[in-house]
Amino acid sequence: MGEKRSSIAALMDKILIIYIIINPLIDYATGFYIREFVGATELDIESSSFASTPSLYIRLAMLLVFAVYLLLRREKLAIGTLVIMGAAFCASIGVLLLTGAQLSLGTDVKYFVKYCYNIVMLFAYMSLIRSMCKNKDEFIEKIFVIVRYTCIVCALGIIIPYIFSLGYYTYADRLGYRGCKGYFYSGNDITAVFTMLLPLAAANFLSLKERFFSGRSVASLLAASLSVIALFLIGSKTAFIAAIGTFGFLLIFALFSIRRHGTSYLVRMLKLLLTILLLLLILGCIVSFDRLVSNVVMSFEAPSVYADTESVEVAVLSGRSDKLAQQFGLFRQGGVLPWLFGIGRSTVSNIIEMDIFEVVIYYGLVGAAAMLWLYVWLAVEFIRSLLKQFDIISFALFIGLGMSFGYLALAGHVLFTVTSGQYFVLAIAFSRLYFAPSAEEAAIRPALISRLLKA
């Protein structure tokens, strides 16, 4: 029986790896189908006419698969964490029903399950690392292969449709149609993926000691440079911040590391920037420089246009503060029960799109404690480890996770989103392995929770 369970768990290891590889293609295939076969436009997506997509149901099915995976692995902390979260969610729904709130149970359940997805995937990644990592350095390289592959596939998934004027615009508003997200269903989601992976891809290239034209060097160079171009084409505020912020921080690191590492980081940074310029020149020759420059400039100037004609808040937060103020008002005025257990997701028509605030307002202080404690603990552990082992890879993890935290706090689309959230927790799992002496010591084991589970 033990051998059978072991063989099933080993099979699920392989399924998880395959799932990581095909993950960038799932949303893309969905967007392609909806655009080319259903005929949905940017305005249809903006109005949430296609809120339930095939990719969502595929991932929900995989959620069940990996929940079983954790059970087979006997991951007690994972199971205990999900039970605690589930109890807090049930308490929230129970209080809403007792108070007579008008809610849609299906909407609430689906939104909560999307949050659980990333927690399940985080523990699944950690279990996979402990199961398959025999040599730490080799396994880290395998993760970098995934990073490079994902960046290249996602970037080409935007650049190629841009060349042929296919796919979706990123924005369709009063300023017109602008930006390009290829066939990716959500521009916010794919931007969040690049926000997390670009720093790792760039740092991977900068840290390589081998010759410039080696396979790994070229792959990491293309991953970083194509990602930057894709972010410029997406054209959102966060896309520009991700591209410029990544290179700004890495340039500062390279300058401060001259005394210790010489000019190697600066030289490779220059090569990376020259490669980006070369690829932009090639792209400009293909589509015309007028089109390329005007598209990027239009997207870059859009926030300032909104700031001048409406307000800085609209330009920066795209009206999210209005939704936050309205829903926080409902939360604050409801009394003790909403403070403790929240107002529920389905009692409001539109989400705030600011993940931290959504957790607190929709699930209350009790729900927030149950749902966020793990991320808080991981953040504290990450900072402690960073202070002990500060190098270009750990700094890249800091950049990616730091910008992702800013993204989820101000623009959402991470904790409650299965596309970008999956890469967010993959980076967390990678950071645990990178800082730990071994795969076993990378395991998530908060002392207090572990003692409670043993008891």
Tens-digit pLDDT profile for residues 170-208: 988 888 889 999 998 788 889 999 999 999 999 999 999
- The CA radius of gyration of the chain, in Å to the nearest whole number, is 22
Report residue 11's pLDDT band, with 50, 70 and 90 as the boundaries.
confident
Report residue 2's pLDDT band, with 50, 70 and 90 as the boundaries.
very low
Residue among 170, 160, 196, 173 nearest 23 (CA): 196
Cβ neighbours, 10 Å, residue 14? 11
Q: Exposed, middle or buried, 292 (CB in 10 Å: 0-12/13-18/19+)?
A: buried
What pLDDT shows up at residue 82?
93
What pLDDT shows up at residue 1?
41
Q: What is the mean pLDDT of residues 266-282?
A: 95
What pLDDT shows up at residue 47?
54
Domain that holds residue 392: 2-454
**pLDDT tens profile 410-433:** 888 899 988 889 899 999 999 999
- The region that residue 301 occupies, defined by phi over 0 for left and psi between -120 and 50 for alpha, beta otherwise, is alpha
Q: What is the mean pLDDT of residues 342-362?
A: 93
What pLDDT shows up at residue 53?
66
Residue listed under structure tokens 């950071």: 431
Of 36 and 6, which is predicted with more confidence? 36
pLDDT score of 21 more than 80: yes
**pLDDT tens profile 103-125:** 899 899 989 999 999 999 999 99
What pLDDT shows up at residue 23?
84
With helix as H, strand as E and coil as C, how does 347-378 read?
Answer: CCCCCCCCHHHHHHHHHHHHHHHHHHHHHHHH
What pLDDT shows up at residue 307?
79
How many residues belong to the chain?
A: 455
The Cα–Cα gap between 266 and 253 comes to 9
The Cα–Cα gap between 265 and 255 comes to 8
CA dihedral sign, ordered 29, 13, 119, 88: positive
Of 354 and 174, which is predicted with more confidence? 354
pLDDT score of 43 more than 70: no
**pLDDT tens profile 363-394:** 999 999 999 999 999 999 999 999 999 999 99
Of 20 and 231, which is predicted with more confidence? 231
The per-residue DSSP string of 201-226 comes to HHHHHHH--S-TTSHHHHHHHHHHHH
**pLDDT tens profile 133-150:** 989 999 999 999 999 999
**pLDDT tens profile 55-67:** 777 887 888 888 8
Q: What is the mean pLDDT of residues 305-324?
A: 80
What pLDDT shows up at residue 211?
81
Number of domains in the chain: 1
Which residues share a beta bridge with 177? 172
What pLDDT shows up at residue 191?
93
Q: What is the mean pLDDT of residues 295-300?
A: 93
Q: Mean pLDDT score of the chain, rounded to an integer?
A: 89
The helices-and-strands tally (H runs, E runs) of the chain is 19, 2
